[in-house]
Structure 1
Amino acid sequence: MGEFEAIRPYNDAEVPGVLARLIDDDHFIGILAGYRFPRLSKGLGWVVRPLLRTRLRQELSGIQSVAALQDKLEPYVDRAIEKASDGVTYSGIDQLRSGRAYLFLANHRDIVMDPAFVNYAVYHAGLPTPRIAIGDNLLQKPFVSDLMRLNKSFIVHRSISGRREKLAAYQNLSAYINHSIRQDGQSIWIAQAEGRAKDGDDRTDSAILKMFHMSCKDEPFAELVKALNIVPVSISYEFDPCDQAKARELHIRATTGSYTKAPGEDDVSIALGITGYKGRVHVAFGEPVSGEFEDAKALAQEMDRQILGNYRLFPASYLAYAAWDGRDAELAVPAVDALFPAEEIEVARAEWERRLAECPAEYRAQLVRQYAQPVLNKYRVLAGLE
Structure 2
Amino acid sequence: MLDSNSDIFKEIRPYHDDEVNGAIKNLINDQEFLDLIMHAKFSIHNKKLIKIITPLLKFFLKVKFRNIKTVKQVQDQIANYMHKLIPNTIEKLNYEGLEKLEKNKPYLFISNHRNIAMDSALINWCLHMEGFPTVRIAMGDNLLKKDCSTILMKLNKTFIVDRSSTGRELLKSLKNLSKYIRLSLKEGNSIWIAQKSGRAKDGNDQTDPAMIKMLSLDFKKDKLSFSDIVNQMNIVPVSISYENDPCDIMMANEIHKLNINGSYEKTEFEDIDTIIKGILGKKGKVNVSFGSPLKGEFTTPEEVSAAIDAVIHKSYYLFPYNLIAAEQTKDEDDILELKEKWNQKLESLSPEIRLIVKNMYAKPVHNKKIL
TM-score (norm 2): 0.92
| Residue of structure 1 in register with 2:198 after alignment | 195
For residues 23-73 of structure 1, the C-alpha deviation after alignment (integer angstroms, 9 at most, x for no partner) is 122221232244444479998545544333333222222222111111123
Asked if 1:351 corresponds to 2:341, the answer is yes
Residue 276 of structure 1 deviates from its aligned partner by 1.5
Residue 76 of structure 1 deviates from its aligned partner by 1.5
Residue 199 of structure 1 deviates from its aligned partner by 0.8
CA contact (8 A) 1:29 1:52 kept: yes
What one-letter code is carried by the residue in structure 2 that aligns with 1:11? Answer: H
Asked if 1:309 corresponds to 2:314, the answer is yes
What one-letter code is carried by the residue in structure 2 that aligns with 1:128? Answer: P
Out of 114, 117, 126, which is 2:119 matched to?
114
- Change in 2 beyond 3 A, CA 1:220/1:364: same
Asked if 1:377 corresponds to 2:371, the answer is no
Residue 337 of structure 1 deviates from its aligned partner by 5.4
List aligned pairs for 1:141-290, cutoff 5 A: 141-161=146-166, 163-182=167-186, 184-217=187-220, 218-290=223-295
What one-letter code is carried by the residue in structure 1 that aligns with 2:227? Answer: A
What one-letter code is carried by the residue in structure 2 that aligns with 1:242? Answer: C
Q: Tell me the distance in 2 between the aligned counterparts of 1:127 and 1:48.
A: 41
- Tell me the C-alpha RMSD between the 2 structures: 2.0
CA contact (8 A) 2:38 2:44 kept: no
Q: Tell me the distance in 2 between the aligned counterparts of 1:122 and 1:295.
A: 30
What one-letter code is carried by the residue in structure 2 that aligns with 1:51? Answer: L
The range that moved more, 171-180 or 263-272, is: 263-272
Aligned length: 364
Out of 355, 359, 362, which is 1:365 matched to?
355
| Residue of structure 2 in register with 1:60 after alignment | 65
Percentage identity across paired residues of the two chains: 41
- Change in 2 beyond 3 A, CA 1:255/1:26: closer
User: What SS class does the counterpart of residue 268 from structure 1 fall into?
Assistant: helix
Out of 320, 324, 335, which is 2:329 matched to?
335
Q: Tell me the distance in 1 between the aligned counterparts of 2:46 and 2:24.
A: 22
CA contact (8 A) 1:22 1:143 kept: yes
For residues 233-257 of structure 1, the C-alpha deviation after alignment (integer angstroms, 9 at most, x for no partner) is 1111111111112112222333343
CA contact (8 A) 1:104 1:231 kept: yes
- Change in 2 beyond 3 A, CA 1:186/1:336: farther
CA contact (8 A) 1:318 1:372 kept: yes
List aligned pairs for 1:75-94, cutoff 5 A: 75-94=80-99
CA contact (8 A) 1:102 1:231 kept: yes
- Change in 2 beyond 3 A, CA 1:86/1:174: same
CA contact (8 A) 2:40 2:276 kept: no
Q: Tell me the distance in 2 between the aligned counterparts of 1:80 and 1:165.
A: 40
CA contact (8 A) 1:8 1:153 kept: yes
- Change in 2 beyond 3 A, CA 1:148/1:89: same
Q: Tell me the distance in 1 between the aligned counterparts of 2:73 and 2:124.
A: 15
Q: Unaligned 5+ residue runs, structure 1?
A: 323-333, 382-386
- Change in 2 beyond 3 A, CA 1:309/1:100: same
| Residue of structure 2 in register with 1:327 after alignment | none
Residue 335 of structure 1 deviates from its aligned partner by 2.3
| Residue of structure 1 in register with 2:3 after alignment | none
CA contact (8 A) 1:309 1:378 kept: yes
What one-letter code is carried by the residue in structure 2 that aligns with 1:202? Answer: D
- Change in 2 beyond 3 A, CA 1:75/1:93: same
TM-score (norm 1): 0.89
CA contact (8 A) 1:133 1:154 kept: yes
CA contact (8 A) 1:105 1:192 kept: yes
What one-letter code is carried by the residue in structure 2 that aligns with 1:96? Answer: L
CA contact (8 A) 1:41 1:48 kept: no
User: What SS class does the counterpart of residue 145 from structure 1 fall into?
Assistant: helix
List aligned pairs for 1:91-102, cutoff 5 A: 91-102=96-107
Q: Tell me the distance in 1 between the aligned counterparts of 2:235 and 2:267.
A: 36
